[in-house]
Structure 1
């Protein structure tokens, strides 16, 4: 994973499946809250008896959110582009899946009154879930991290380049 992407375990949901794991992630080069570029959640649900709606025993649920430049607010292709970040990431990380579903939401915030000192914001939120075709969930985690970094505006790292962790 990229050095700008930071993971932390959080309490998982407890009512949906007998077993679960939840992580939160931030795209933040410096860990300074003012430099947060994007964030998201990664949840894995496991039911050894399987669930009909999942078509399997495992379900991966992800969310990624990032602030975009204002020029993207009216882009009619923004939803398609956001969804392609997910599907391209799954393909790039060779994460086999089925039963993929989700939404891409754009939020345009305009400020008024005392908040007029702040400019309006455009936010994208990608929510999705799918059933992995394998118990190896590492490619699915990497796919979510890649999608979140893309939503946050980080350029892709070429295949022949390895990311370096910054010195502390």
Structure 2
């Protein structure tokens, strides 16, 4: 029996719906190694958002990176009481913020609201959602003292999708990564212009 034949049909269906997702052009999305201890079956995607003008295939400087993230789909055919289902989506997003925004006491609540609104906007049914938002202040000293202080926001969240159709969940998450990167939302039915290649 082939390895593919041993994969549950529900998980194969979920993988098929992920491939159908349409994500914003500013987002670089690629499959990365999935954690092996969280569930019998898993797939993971990594995302990066760079400043506009960085063309696909170019290697931008670190300073061009606006946000990064991971989207992990877990599946346990036996189900989990903690998950309240057989699937679980685990996500991570990190972005550097301007100092005046990063010190806002409501930042964590705003980050969580971005997640909920993105899922609702894409009509991605879910339950048992939870997460944490963390602010990280970086101060430089010694030979690095000339660097300005920076504040990063991290959001770690997980939720149980209402079905194995997770296309809308990936699309919602990709929009949220772009929101963390400071990109304006696109009106419904409008596509972003492709990044122009730098000379």
Do the structures match in fold with TM over 0.5? yes
TM-score by length of 2: 0.81
Who is 1:125 aligned against? 154
Residues 104-126 of structure 1: CA distance to partner in whole angstroms, max 9, x if unpaired?
11111111221111100010001
Cα offset, 1:72, TM superposition = 1.9
The answer as to whether partners of 2:129 and 2:158 remain within 8 angstroms in 1 is yes
* Equivalent residue pairs, number: 168
Who is 1:5 aligned against? 27
Who is 1:64 aligned against? 93
Who is 1:136 aligned against? 165
Structure index of larger Rg: 2
Cα offset, 1:144, TM superposition = 1.1
Residues 104-162 of structure 1: CA distance to partner in whole angstroms, max 9, x if unpaired?
11111111221111100010001100000011111111111111110110111112422
Unaligned runs of 5+ in 1: none
Cα offset, 1:167, TM superposition = 5.7
Q: More strand per residue: 1 or 2?
A: 1
The answer as to whether partners of 2:102 and 2:153 remain within 8 angstroms in 1 is no
TM-score by length of 1: 0.95
Of 55, 61, 64, the residue aligned with 1:35 is 64
Who is 2:79 aligned against? 50
Segments ≥4 residues shifted beyond 3 Å: none
Determine the C-alpha separation between the residues in 2 that align with 1:47 and 1:99.
Answer: 16
Who is 2:9 aligned against? none
CA RMSD, 1 decimal: 1.3
Determine the C-alpha separation between the residues in 1 that align with 2:85 and 2:131.
Answer: 18
Q: 1:167 to 1:73 in 2, by over 3 A?
A: closer
